[in-house]
């Protein structure tokens, strides 16, 4: 009996030692909040009482590192959010706090805010996610823009930035449109503010926003790289001047997808220094279509390459897919693909214009031009609002080269055959192509392709 009691005592002591020693080692699973969905690849997120989210991750050595998420609500920094009182200072304050946070900062804007021109500057210590679920309204007092007449909302030199939230950015552009020289020829031509600008922002994500009634361009991406844009709705009246939807300049590696754009100018405009851009699932109209250019203005040397538009629908636009360059410039627009596109009642469904001239006086004839080469038009169908559905107006000294048409079917709106106009273009056909160019010049048959020089 004594022996049995002794063995039981030993068993209890062994269990106590084992349980006690196990509590000395931190159990990784203990870091998980009960019912937490944030479990992925050894990463656990735990929320504390002050709304700072701690991110604990095991590194290669088995140690646990700590990164943190903190929420910054603009209302907590003095914003009234009534759409009437100026909330610019509150946005400056919330940005300063978020940019200084050593972790990941989430900035919330959930009401209706009236804002004067404002620049959100980096570099920042944090990765920032701006969640706009309310509305940002631009001041419509032109005197508020005296210091910088070309920008309203600007993000400058910020890395790993995300802007999203399902809200609206409203440029209130009517006052600028009324005073545009394109509306009133008697007025001098002046720049108006771009509604939303991202400048020198690498690893940028912009998604799920409505941008409306831009003072001029709605959304510009400049001097940036590795950009993802998706789920945008961009709108302005058809007669609003120079209100490009998305304007891309000197930016590399950009993806634009699942967006609907209807404005008074180009739905997407792609200009100098842009490279490796892919646009998919784009709905365009009204507007001037998707344009590469203009390039070469004022004798400048400009380059655009690696552009793909795959999956787009154009409705009632003045152009479909367009490349436009000024005479007298140099450089090139090359390696471009337009495919899987629907045209409905589009005035110029396919157009290359190397004699572009957007000025009040006629442009003088020049000898130099931006070279256009290696352009594929594939699987494009629909209707043209004009007799000429396909137009290549290329330079005599620098003809368009390597232009390929494959499976094209463009008819007149309301029925009938459309026409093609082709000048100074080296062109090949593949598959069924309608309309085709009528040429007196020499034609060469090579295999199944017809080359026109």
Say whether pLDDT at 28 is over 90: no
Active site residue 288: yes
Dihedral Cα 269, 272, 273, 274, nearest 10 deg: 20
Identify the three-state secondary structure at position 340.
strand
Choice among 72-86, 177-191, 300-314, 337-351 with the minimum mean pLDDT: 177-191
Say whether pLDDT at 21 is over 80: no
Contact 53, 31 (CB under 8 A): no
Beta bridge partners of 55: 45, 67
Contact 207, 179 (CB under 8 A): no
Contact 140, 172 (CB under 8 A): yes
Residue 186 pLDDT class (50, 70, 90 cuts): confident
pLDDT for residue 38? 27
User: What is the average per-residue pLDDT within 77-86?
Assistant: 97
Q: Which of 41-50, 52-61, 434-443 has the highest mean pLDDT?
A: 434-443
Say whether pLDDT at 59 is over 50: no
In angstroms, the CA 207 to CA 169 distance is 12
Contact 168, 208 (CB under 8 A): no
Say whether pLDDT at 447 is over 60: no
In angstroms, the CA 427 to CA 401 distance is 7
Phi, psi of 142 (to 5 degrees): -55, -30
Angle at alpha carbon of residue 429, lines to 376 and 285, rounded to 5°:
45
User: What is the average per-residue pLDDT within 194-199?
Assistant: 98
Average pLDDT score, the chain: 86
pLDDT for residue 383? 98
Contact 335, 343 (CB under 8 A): no
Say whether pLDDT at 35 is over 50: no
pLDDT for residue 288? 98
User: What is the average per-residue pLDDT within 409-423?
Assistant: 95
Residue percentage of the chain with pLDDT more than 90: 77
Q: What is the pLDDT of residues 248-302, one digit of tens each?
A: 999 999 999 999 999 999 999 999 999 999 999 999 999 999 999 999 999 999 9
pLDDT for residue 439? 58
pLDDT for residue 197? 98
| Closest C-alpha among 122, 127, 114, 144 to residue 72 | 127
Per the structure block, which two tokens stand in for 5?
């009691």
H or E element: which one contains 17?
Answer: helix 2-23
Identify the three-state secondary structure at position 285.
coil
| Closest C-alpha among 409, 322, 420, 406 to residue 372 | 322
For the chain, the structural domain boundaries read: 41-257, 266-453
**Active-site entry in 51, 288, 339, 444:** 288
> Is this prediction's pTM over 0.75?
yes
- Count the Cβ atoms, other than its own, within 10 Å of residue 309: 24
Say whether pLDDT at 451 is over 90: no
pLDDT for residue 61? 40
User: What is the average per-residue pLDDT within 423-433?
Assistant: 95
pLDDT for residue 358? 85
Q: What is the CATH number of domain 41-257?
A: 2.160.20.10
pLDDT for residue 85? 97
Helix, strand, coil: what percent of the chain each, to 5?
A: 10, 50, 35
Say whether pLDDT at 338 is over 70: yes
Contact 192, 149 (CB under 8 A): yes
Say whether pLDDT at 91 is over 80: yes
Contact 129, 107 (CB under 8 A): yes
Q: Do domains 41-257 and 266-453 have the same CATH topology?
A: yes
Chain mean position to CA 357: 26
- Count the Cβ atoms, other than its own, within 10 Å of residue 370: 31
Q: Under 8 Å CB-to-CB from 120, ≥6 apart: which residues?
A: 91, 95, 99, 153, 154, 155, 156, 158
The reply to whether CATH 3.40.50.150 applies to domain 266-453 is no
Contact 229, 253 (CB under 8 A): no
């Amino acid at each position: 009996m004594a022996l049995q009691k002794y063995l039981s005592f030993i068993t209890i002591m062994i269990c106590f030692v084992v349980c006690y020693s196990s509590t000395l080692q931190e159990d990784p699973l203990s870091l998980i909040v009960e019912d937490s969905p944030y479990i992925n690849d050894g990463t656990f997120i735990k929320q504390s009482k002050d709304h700072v989210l701690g991110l604990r991750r095991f590194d290669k050595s088995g140690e646990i590192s700590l990164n943190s998420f903190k929420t910054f609500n603009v209302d907590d920094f003095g914003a009234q959010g009534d759409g009437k009182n100026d909330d610019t200072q509150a946005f400056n304050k919330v940005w300063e706090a978020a940019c200084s946070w050593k972790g990941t900062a989430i900035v919330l804007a959930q009401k209706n805010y009236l804002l004067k021109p404002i620049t959100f500057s980096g570099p920042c210590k944090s990765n920032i996610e701006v969640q706009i679920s309310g509305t940002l309204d631009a001041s419509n007092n032109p005197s508020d823009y005296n210091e910088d007449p070309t920008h309203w909302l600007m993000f400058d030199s910020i890395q790993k930035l995300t802007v999203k939230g399902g809200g609206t950015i409203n440029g209130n552009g009517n006052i600028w449109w009324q005073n545009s020289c394109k509306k009133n020829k008697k007025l001098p031509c002046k720049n108006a503010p771009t509604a939303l600008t991202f400048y020198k922002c690498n690893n940028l994500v912009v998604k799920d926003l409505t941008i409306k009634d831009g003072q001029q361009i709605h959304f510009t991406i400049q001097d940036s790289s590795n950009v993802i844009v998706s789920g945008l709705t961009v709108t302005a009246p058809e007669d609003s001047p120079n209100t490009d939807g998305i304007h891309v300049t000197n930016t590399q590696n950009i993806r634009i997808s699942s967006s609907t754009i209807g404005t008074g100018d180009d739905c997407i405009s792609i200009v100098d220094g842009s490279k490796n851009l892919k646009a998919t699932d784009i709905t365009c109209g009204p507007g001037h279509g998707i344009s590469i250019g203009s390039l070469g203005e004022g004798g400048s040397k400009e380059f655009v390459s690696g552009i793909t538009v795959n999956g787009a629908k154009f409705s009632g636009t003045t152009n479909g897919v367009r490349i436009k360059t000024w005479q007298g410039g140099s450089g090139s627009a090359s390696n471009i693909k337009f495919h899987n596109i629907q045209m409905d009642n589009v005035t110029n469904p396919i157009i290359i214009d190397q004699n572009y001239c957007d000025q009040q006086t006629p442009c003088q004839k020049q000898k130099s031009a931006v070279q256009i080469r290696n352009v594929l038009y594939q699987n494009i169908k629909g209707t043209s609002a004009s007799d000429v559905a396909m137009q290549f107006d290329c330079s005599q000294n620098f003809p368009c080269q390597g232009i390929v048409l494959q499976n094209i079917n463009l008819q007149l709106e309301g029925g009938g055959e459309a026409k093609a106009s082709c000048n100074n273009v080296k062109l090949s056909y593949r598959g069924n192509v309608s309309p085709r160019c009528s040429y007196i010049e020499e034609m060469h048959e090579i295999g199944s392709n017809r080359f026109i020089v």
